[in-house]
Amino acid sequence: MPDITVLGAGLVGSAIIKDLAKEPGFNVTAVDLNETGLRKLASVARVQAADLRQPGVVELVIADSDLVVCAVPGFMGFETLRRIIETGKPVVDISFFPEDAFLLDDLARARGVTAVVDCGVAPGLCNLLLGYADTQLDAIDSYVCYVGGLPQVRHWPFEYKAVFSPIDVIEEYTRPARLIEYGQQVVRPALSDLELRDFPGIGTLEAFNTDGLRSLMRTMDIPFMKEKTLRYPGHAELMRVFRDSGFFDESPIDVRGQSVRPIDLTSRLLFTQWHMQEGEEDFTVMEVAITGCREGREMRYTFDLLDRYDRASQTTAMARTTGYTCAIAVRQVLAGRFRQPGIYPPEFLGRTPGLYEIFLGEYESRGIKITANVTEI
């Protein structure tokens, strides 16, 4: 009976905990600083309140674990993952920290640790789909991922709600976007190259460049790659106004004798308005398009996902698509279907024979439908 410890019990972490707790024989422990959130999970898992930023705490709470899930906020992610690997525990990570996870590859190999990182929806599921397509094609020419999580009901002026920290969302609007064009890395401003796209069942959304390729720039040899984030039309222009007016700046300014970072004030104000209220419904939409050649023929692989808030379990679509990807990966690592020492983003899972089919079957059993189409160009 494996013992699994989940570090972080927020909206996504709690979805992971509930899903793993359904598995017969899994002993799940939830660790978080928020005791109110933990009380909601006490009926399905063991709970432990702890400040994971304190020295020695991570090592203490995972001491008896067979596997660890790292679902802490991004600013804590890299250091928390490093501490987990130091203990020799296999880990699946969804903290999406800004640092390069491969900096921990030597440590993971030395400790014999399997560390599956970026295991959410995007990054995560989109990487797995690309990894699978890579096994079906002789060469890939292009990859593009359109993805976004949005509230079902639009409210002026932002028409957006966040299921994770607003400070992490703001980074999507400020961090320059790295793309691959003609085999070379190019950098574009975040929120650039705006385009409108129509999605069945949703309508028209706008797409703009964000820095979402992450590990794919290292692990895949594809001449054209990009990720674009989806929002309701008008949101990107509003965020550009905020950014270019200095509201997202990290350098302190003096306000009546007080040193204030504009981004701290802005994120505090936005959190109130972007906070997903209990019972508020959302959807996650993603389109992955891959072109390449197979036996001399030009082929296009497209994968479409549309998931909505689950009223029965009161789980957001973003928590479902992100959290369940992680929970499914946990099962594959524990079952020994993917167990290699080192840092591994999900494109390696997609390349592993049989895992693509297992993931799609697991998604479908949870009511998440991914439509795959293969056409000759």
Judge whether 173 and 239 are in contact, CB under 8 Å: yes
CATH topology agreement for domains 3-117 and 125-308:
no
Q: Which of 43-47, 180-184, 264-268 has the lowest mean pLDDT?
A: 264-268
Mean of pLDDT values over 6-29:
95
Mean of pLDDT values over 28-37:
94
pLDDT band for position 328 (cuts 50, 70, 90): very high
Question: Does the pLDDT of residue 52 top 70, yes or no?
Answer: yes
pLDDT in tens, 182-205: 999 999 999 999 999 999 999 999
Alpha carbons 194 and 207: distance in angstroms, whole number: 6
What does the pLDDT read at residue 150? Answer: 96
Q: Where are the domains of the chain?
A: 3-117, 125-308
pLDDT band for position 6 (cuts 50, 70, 90): very high
What does the pLDDT read at residue 272? Answer: 84
- Rounded percentage of the chain residues whose pLDDT exceeds 90: 89
What does the pLDDT read at residue 165? Answer: 67
**Residue for token digits 């598995």?**
23
Q: What is the DSSP annotation of 36-70?
A: HHHHTTTTTSEEEE--TTSTTHHHHHTTT-SEEEE
Residue of 186, 168, 187 whose CA lies nearest to 248: 168
pLDDT in tens, 118-155: 999 999 999 999 999 999 999 999 999 999 999 999 99
**CATH topology classification for 125-308:** Dihydrodipicolinate Reductase; domain 2 (3.30.360)
Question: Does the pLDDT of residue 331 top 90, yes or no?
Answer: yes
The architecture CATH gives domain 3-117: 3-Layer(aba) Sandwich (3.40)
Question: Does the pLDDT of residue 28 top 70, yes or no?
Answer: yes
**Residue for token digits 């921990």?**
104
Q: Which of 25-29, 202-206, 265-269 has the lowest mean pLDDT?
A: 265-269
What does the pLDDT read at residue 277? Answer: 80
Q: How big is the chain, counted in residues? A: 377
Angle of helix 125-136 relative to helix 317-334, nearest 10 degrees, comes to 60
Judge whether 111 and 86 are in contact, CB under 8 Å: yes
Question: Does the pLDDT of residue 114 top 90, yes or no?
Answer: yes
Q: What is the mean pLDDT of the chain?
A: 95
